[in-house]
Amino acid sequence: MSADGFSKFFEFFHALETRHQQRLAWDDAAEARIARVKAEEAAKAQLQAMLDANPSGALGHSKLNDIEALKREGLL
């Protein structure tokens, strides 16, 4: 096999490998888009569940061992 023939042979298989890698990249990108949509839907559902559980939206204002609140509720 001459150097030119070997070069063409190498270029052909390199082109095949390049196309294969490009297809894998496209498949990965498609899977990433699907995963992003699923994650956004899950986040939207979680937000709605949080709002349904506490419609005032006042999440995060409670304190642990709040003596005044415990006395007010008759727990102390």
Is 53 among the domain residues? yes
Could you read off the pLDDT of 53-62 as tens digits, one per residue?
766 656 566 6
In 3D, which of 33, 1, 26, 60 has the Cα closest to residue 41? Answer: 33
In a domain, 14, yes or no: yes
pLDDT tens digits for range 7-47:
888 899 899 999 999 999 999 999 999 999 999 999 999 88
Does residue 47 belong to any structural domain of this protein? Answer: yes
d(CA 23, CA 21): 5
Is there a domain that residue 67 lies in? no
pLDDT value at position 73?
Answer: 74
pLDDT score, position 64: 67
Give residue 42's pLDDT.
93
Position 70 in a domain: no
Distance CA 5, CA 13 (A): 13
The pLDDT, as a whole number, for residue 55 is 64
Per-residue confidence (pLDDT) for residue 74, from 0 to 100: 78
Q: How many domains does the chain have?
A: 1
Residue with tokens 């390199």: 14
Q: Is residue 23 in some structural domain?
A: yes
Residue 35 is part of which domain span?
A: 3-57
Contact (Cβ atoms closer than 8 angstroms) between residue 44 and residue 52:
no
- CA 57 centroid distance within chain: 25
